[in-house]
Amino acid sequence: MRFVVLGAGRIGLSHVGTLKAQSGVTDLLIADLDPARAAAAAASVGSESATIDDAFASKPDGIVIAAPTSAHAELIVRAVRAGIPTFCEKPLAESLASSIALVEEVERRDVPVQIGFQRRFDAGYVEAKRALQAGDIGELRRMHLLTCDPTPPPAQYVPTSGGIYRDCHIHDFDILRWVTGREVATVFATGANRGAPFFADAGDVDESAALLTLDDGTLVTVQGSRYNGAGYDVRMELAGSLGNRSVGLDERVPLTSAEPGVSFPTESAWPNFQERFAPAYAAELARFVAVAAGETASPCTPRDALEALFIAEAAELSRAEGRPVRLDEVKR
Ligand SMILES: NC(=O)c1ccc[n+]([C@@H]2O[C@H](COP(=O)([O-])OP(=O)(O)OC[C@H]3O[C@@H](n4cnc5c(N)ncnc54)[C@H](O)[C@@H]3O)[C@@H](O)[C@H]2O)c1
């Protein structure tokens, strides 16, 4: 099968290598607004590069969109109108209005679209969901999610990213819905500017904390940082009436115990998302190859991504106004 990757930046380059290794992928064409980036990415895996127009005209079996968030809506619409099965990185789009319009457009057509929430394919999150649904941890009483980058993204990434809640915590918001099967009722979020001025200049923050209440009353805390010096730290804790599960608590977790005699963890900390989630990216793209082949349905639809975006919107509104926000205030 022939695939196109649009956008050869941080995640695009990672997806190019992952797709190239998929057995169902025979041809890979790479396009980027910057032709030199496309050519370099193509050369790194022995593929071809093309302009964006030529990539669409090649009528591939599937398109993988890894362009900036601000370009997602336009590229997804172009792909589905051409009838091409599409994978697009999270979040769905830069604004809520364009995301809603996009979902309506996609749902009018019979073309599969998969959004890149790779945690749904990570072994730890899969096991936590299984354990909760099987009753192994009893009734869920509390949940904590953490997404911390060791270093901030490039300055030019931030203004079109949508801000830390839409860009980063959107992963936490998607996975908490997926793991619990519940909806968020209220969000009380805040943030701080402790780092580079380009975060504040873009109206964004580099430290974040939010308290969410689920529709059954479960309390959930979410915390994030763009400056987690210890390493790339993505974890989720579920605690119930019978037990708990901790996702990301492995030998590479960037934690140091203050207790005497404790040597855990024993290996070097996860440095970045590319390494931490490499198996999950491979599994989600393997699934997309199957989606594009018509063998299976999209495991993460634009509608799912919109639900996660509603939570991010509520978080941004809460942060701006300094008050708890009900989800029905932002849902349309
Ligand atoms: N799932 C994840 O873990 C994950 C991780 C990182 C980024 N992302 C998402 O992936 C997207 C890209 O992020 P990134 O960090 O790779 O950004 P990046 O800035 O490193 O790369 C984006 C690339 O897209 C190119 N580009 C810009 N406009 C384009 C267009 N219209 N068509 C084709 N290419 C275009 C740029 O020249 C650049 O090479 C963002 O939406 C981000 O939220 C997801």
Q: What is the pLDDT of residues 239-280, one digit of tens each?
A: 999 999 999 999 999 999 999 999 999 999 999 999 999 999
What's the pLDDT at 294? 98
| CA-closest residue to ligand 1 atom 6 | 11
Contact 207, 191 (CB under 8 A): yes
| Residue 281 token pair | 């990216």
Ligand 1: centre distance to CA 40 (Å) = 15
pLDDT at 68: 94
Q: How far is the CA of 293 from the centre of ligand 1 (A)?
A: 25
List the domains of the chain with CATH numbers. 2-117+281-300 (3.40.50.720), 120-274+308-329 (3.30.360.10)
Nearest-10 crossing angle of helices 10-20, 35-45: 30
Distance 15 CA to ligand 1 centre (A): 11
Q: With a 6 A CB cut-off, is 14 part of the ligand 1 pocket? A: no
Three-state DSSP class for residue 296: coil
**Cβ atoms within 10 Å, residue 205:** 24
Peptide bond into 265 cis (omega under 30): yes
Q: Please give the single-letter amino acid code of residue 48.
A: E
Q: Is 15 in the pocket of ligand 1 (CB under 6 A)?
A: no
Ligand 1 touching residue 167 (CB < 6 A): yes
List of residues 6+ apart from 134 with CB closer than 8 A: none
What integer pLDDT is reported at residue 173 of this predicted model?
98
Q: Say what the pLDDT of residue 160 is.
A: 87
Is residue 168 within 8 Å of residue 119, measured between CB atoms?
no
Which pair of structure tokens corresponds to residue 17?
A: 């290598």
Ligand 1 pocket, mutate which of 4, 6, 11 (most atoms under 8 A from CB): 11
> pLDDT tens digits, residue range 279-304?
999 999 999 999 999 999 999 999 99
CA of residue 11 to ligand 1 center, whole Å: 6
Cα–Cα dist 305/253, whole Å: 28
Written as six digits, the tokens of 311 are: 């939570």
H helix or E strand, kind and range, residue 118:
none
- What confidence score (pLDDT) does residue 55 get? 98
Any atom of ligand 1 within 6 Å of the Cβ of 6: yes
The pTM score is 0.96
Q: What is the mean pLDDT of each run of 10 residues along the chain (332 residues)?
A: 97 97 94 97 96 98 96 97 97 92 95 98 98 98 98 94 95 98 98 98 98 98 98 98 98 98 97 97 98 98 98 98 98 87
- In whole angstroms, give the CA distance from residue 30 to residue 49: 5
Between 10-20 and 278-292, two packed helices, what is the crossing angle to 10 degrees? Answer: 60
Q: Cα 308 vs. chain centroid, distance in angstroms?
A: 10
Is the distance from the beta carbon of residue 131 to the nearest atom of ligand 1 less than 6 Å? Answer: no
Quote the pLDDT of residue 134: 98
